[in-house]
A and B are shown apart, each in its own frame.
Chain A
Amino acid sequence: MIVRGRERRRDLRLDVDAAVVGSGAGGAMMARELSARGLRVALLEMGGHHRPADFTAVEADMLEELFQERGARATRDLSVRVLQGRGVGGSTVHNTCLCKRAPAELLARWKREHAVSGASPAELDPAYAATEQELGVRELGPDDLNRNNALFRRGVEALGYRGGFLHHNRAGCRGAGYCELGCPFDAKQNALKVLVPAALEHGAWVVSDARVERVETRRGRARGVSGSLLDALGRPHARFEVDARVVCLAASAVGSAALHARSGLPDPSGLAGTTLRLHPGGVVAGLFDEEVVGWRGVPQSYECTEFLSFAEDAAKRRVWLVPVFAHPIGTAVQLSGFGAAHGELMRRYRHVAAVTAMVHDTTRGRVRVEASGRIRIDYWPNHDDRAQLALGLREGARILLAAGARRVLVPFEPDPLWIDDAAGLAAIDAAAIRRHRLPLTAVHPMGTLPLGDDPARAVVDSRGEHHAVGGLFVCDGSLFPTSLGVPPQLSIYSFARHLAPHVAAAC
């Protein structure tokens, strides 16, 4: 049953076995898994329930509709932009379909250092394999490379760096290139297209425009959730209450931690909301004589892993390099300066190829809730992470030069740093990366309600159940005790699938 909260002006009350908060990769998978087992499920989503025809590919409109805080979410000092999904399907609606498994070395570390059990590569393999099959995950090939990615590959190969094609969950893709604004052609095999309809088929309630404001507990157990139904402008216009035997938090590493805080839930470890990882990224842009037209075609189809290792002795190689491109607003906001100089840079738009360097971060950020109710994110990368970021930007620039860029731009404020040859790369160092001087973006928040079997070092146990609140589970990226260092969507889907039997048993 679909309930569109923006169209319903009456209060809503449901009695179910499981209330799932958030409908992205984790929530949609959990709702489908539980409902397929015959359980009564309510899947609650604060954003709208969209159809492919709603994805107009108009950047400003989609930023408002598909992203948290209408595209304006950022750390409290605006130094890191945080792009997170809003709407049924969550961030799987606007992501670029990247699918990578959690590295085996990292899972071994989680077991050793964070007392995570039951999550070895072998134990997770069935969930990963089933998810990959269900979502049509496949390795891309040369025919899938747009010009931006082809240039990147050329640079990586010219330097002899380790690189390869990425895996995506897309089928019937036309290569239009508007993935980050929602796919108008419904080619993404994501939570919205695959899992939510399956949950509906199994009888789940899918309630959109439903902002969960509180997890209700009684005698140390979760008993349901309550909140507001929102109108089309996001204003509360009715209430809802859901009585449930279990509650699953899947509102993202930011949203789930904020709901944990708003609900005043016990936190024996003191970790809830204090171990935020953002997998932050910076960008370098190469100017080419040829037209690149980087927004067209399949984005992010090739990677460079030369500087990313999860081995014990690889602390100095924690940066993942991948081509990136933004539509005009995203580009304009990232570019240096303002006025005529900025306008001149924008007029080179068709000739730009860009690379992002994302850091497998060790920084611990925080998610809190202000007295006004607004979510507050505190995060600025520590020195080691800034050094990794600088390494990544240097190497991204080197790759672009090797690919034939006439010049490479690092978008420092207020003036860009121009690099014309390898000798100029040394100017990018950790000291140059300061708040507001280099725009950073994060699209992979993780780790705010980490799992592990030691209640002193984790918020939830290895089955995903809260150490201090029975019947309360977490099934999104909040679970991860460290940064993944790779895009998390496949792992979030797969962890939810992996944990679902435990949740079902608690219902």
Chain B
Amino acid sequence: MGWTRRQVLKGLGGLLAAGSALGLGAATVAGEAAPSGLRLLGATEARILRAAAERLLAGTPLDEAALAEVLRWIDGYLRRQGEPLRTEVRGLLWGLELSAPLFGEGWARFSRRDADSRDAVLRAWSTSRFALFRQGYAGLKGLVLMAGYRQPAFLRSIGYDGPPHG
């Protein structure tokens, strides 16, 4: 049975609250600066998103500049969206950061894990029996792939020759 959007928010909000209670901070860990050019995402959120994007886009022409562009574009995209979606995406990122114990993947935060371990968490979300996590995986994957496959290097890598002019 699927969860409602309200339940999703409550669930992810609960994870966020748990994070705050553990002293993890709301958006930015003390002393951590947000990457330049980001106006919505805090430093910690950017770090989580970066950690996810590195794995979701592994096997693509993802270099440091492309990764920065992924973050910059998602930050701008969220700024252009309404507040409910922004809140949900931030909750989603924090949920990803803190959810590993729910899947028996240990206590380390997502953004501190190695590549294989991050893949395991993402895969656990995609196959979870709870619609909440599958939904979160689908949303995050869509956002990151959209940010990646808009970049010329990605398009060239798959042999796409569009757009027709310009």
A178 interface hit (Cβ, 8 Å): yes
CB <8 Å contact, A184 and B165: yes
Residue from A79, A333, A342, A435 in contact with B142 in the complex, judged by beta carbons closer than 8 Å: A333
A194 interface hit (Cβ, 8 Å): no
Across the two chains, which residue of chain A brings its CB closest to B157? A347
CB <8 Å contact, B80 and A64: yes
B103 interface hit (Cβ, 8 Å): no
B109 to chain A, nearest CB (A): 20
A104 interface hit (Cβ, 8 Å): no
Q: B55: which A residues are within 8 A, CB to CB? A: 338-339
CB <8 Å contact, A339 and B160: no
Q: A70: which B residues are within 8 A, CB to CB? A: 77, 80-81
C-beta contact mask, A309-322 vs B, less than 8 Å → 1, else 0? 00000000000000
A146 to chain B, nearest CB (A): 14
CB <8 Å contact, A339 and B119: yes
A328 interface hit (Cβ, 8 Å): yes
B102 interface hit (Cβ, 8 Å): no
**What is the CA–CA distance of A66 and B2 in the complex, to the nearest angstrom?**
30
Q: Could you tell me which residues of chain A, from 321 to 352, have a CB within 8 Å of some CB in chain B?
A: 327-329, 331-333, 337-344, 346-347, 349-350
B33 interface hit (Cβ, 8 Å): no
A436 to chain B, nearest CB (A): 4
CB <8 Å contact, B154 and A328: yes
A414 interface hit (Cβ, 8 Å): yes
C-beta contact mask, B129-161 vs A, less than 8 Å → 1, else 0? 001001101110110011011100011011110
B155 to chain A, nearest CB (A): 6
CB <8 Å contact, B56 and A339: yes
Across the two chains, which residue of chain A brings its CB closest to B141? A338
CB <8 Å contact, A414 and B158: no
CB <8 Å contact, A340 and B58: yes
Q: A426: which B residues are within 8 A, CB to CB? A: none
A470 interface hit (Cβ, 8 Å): no
B5 interface hit (Cβ, 8 Å): yes
Residue from B73, B77, B135 in contact with A78 in the complex, judged by beta carbons closer than 8 Å: B135
B23 interface hit (Cβ, 8 Å): no
CB <8 Å contact, B162 and A295: yes
The stretch of B13-21, B38-46, B82-90, B93-101 that contacts the partner chain: B82-90
A56 interface hit (Cβ, 8 Å): yes
**What is the CA–CA distance of A339 and B62 in the complex, to the nearest angstrom?**
11
**What is the CA–CA distance of A443 and B154 in the complex, to the nearest angstrom?**
27
Across the two chains, which residue of chain B brings its CB closest to A344? B59
Q: A439: which B residues are within 8 A, CB to CB? A: 138
The stretch of A85-93, A372-380, A381-389, A445-453 that contacts the partner chain: A372-380
Across the two chains, which residue of chain B brings its CB closest to A343? B59
Contact of A329 with B150 at beta-carbon distance under 8 Å, contacts A295-B162, A340-B58 already known: yes
Q: A342: which B residues are within 8 A, CB to CB? A: 56, 59
**What is the CA–CA distance of A214 and B138 in the complex, to the nearest angstrom?**
33
Q: B84: which A residues are within 8 A, CB to CB? A: 370, 372, 374
Across the two chains, which residue of chain A brings its CB closest to B4? A76
Residue from B85, B135, B149, B165 in contact with A332 in the complex, judged by beta carbons closer than 8 Å: B149
Q: B154: which A residues are within 8 A, CB to CB? A: 328
A438 to chain B, nearest CB (A): 11
**What is the CA–CA distance of A58 and B163 in the complex, to the nearest angstrom?**
6
B121 to chain A, nearest CB (A): 12
**What is the CA–CA distance of A329 and B141 in the complex, to the nearest angstrom?**
11
Q: A79: which B residues are within 8 A, CB to CB? A: 2, 135, 138
Q: B148: which A residues are within 8 A, CB to CB? A: 332
CB <8 Å contact, A77 and B164: no
A350 to chain B, nearest CB (A): 4
Contact of A346 with B60 at beta-carbon distance under 8 Å, contacts A329-B150, A435-B131 already known: yes
B113 interface hit (Cβ, 8 Å): no
A72 interface hit (Cβ, 8 Å): yes
**What is the CA–CA distance of A176 and B73 in the complex, to the nearest angstrom?**
27
CB <8 Å contact, A328 and B126: no
**What is the CA–CA distance of A372 and B166 in the complex, to the nearest angstrom?**
39
CB <8 Å contact, B139 and A414: no
CB <8 Å contact, A77 and B122: no
Q: B162: which A residues are within 8 A, CB to CB? A: 57, 59, 177-178, 295, 327
CB <8 Å contact, B158 and A77: no
Q: A57: which B residues are within 8 A, CB to CB? A: 162-166
Q: B107: which A residues are within 8 A, CB to CB? A: none
A431 interface hit (Cβ, 8 Å): no
Q: B56: which A residues are within 8 A, CB to CB? A: 338-339, 342
A432 interface hit (Cβ, 8 Å): no
B10 interface hit (Cβ, 8 Å): no
Across the two chains, which residue of chain B brings its CB closest to A346? B158
Q: A435: which B residues are within 8 A, CB to CB? A: 2, 131, 134
A1 interface hit (Cβ, 8 Å): no
Most buried by B among A79, A184, A338: A338
A471 to chain B, nearest CB (A): 32
Extra contacts besides A76-B5, A77-B5, A349-B160 (15): CB < 8 Å? A70-B77, A77-B2, A178-B162, A184-B164, A295-B160, A327-B160, A329-B146, A333-B141, A333-B145, A339-B59, A343-B60, A346-B60, A370-B84, A436-B135, A436-B137
Interface pairs (17), CB distance under 8 Å: A60-B73, A60-B149, A64-B80, A77-B131, A78-B138, A79-B2, A295-B162, A327-B162, A332-B149, A339-B56, A339-B58, A349-B158, A349-B159, A370-B5, A372-B83, A374-B84, A413-B134
Per CB-CB distance, the 10 closest pairs between chain A and chain B, nearest first, are: A343-B59, A57-B163, A60-B150, A340-B59, A436-B134, A339-B58, A332-B145, A349-B158, A328-B149, A414-B126
Q: Which residues of B contact A (CB under 8 A)?
A: 2-5, 55-60, 73, 77, 80-85, 119, 122-123, 126-127, 131, 134-135, 137-139, 141-142, 145-146, 148-150, 154-155, 157-160, 162-166
Q: Which residues of A contact B (CB under 8 A)?
A: 56-60, 63-64, 69-72, 76-79, 176-178, 181, 184, 233-234, 295, 327-329, 331-333, 337-344, 346-347, 349-350, 370, 372, 374, 376, 380, 413-414, 435-436, 439
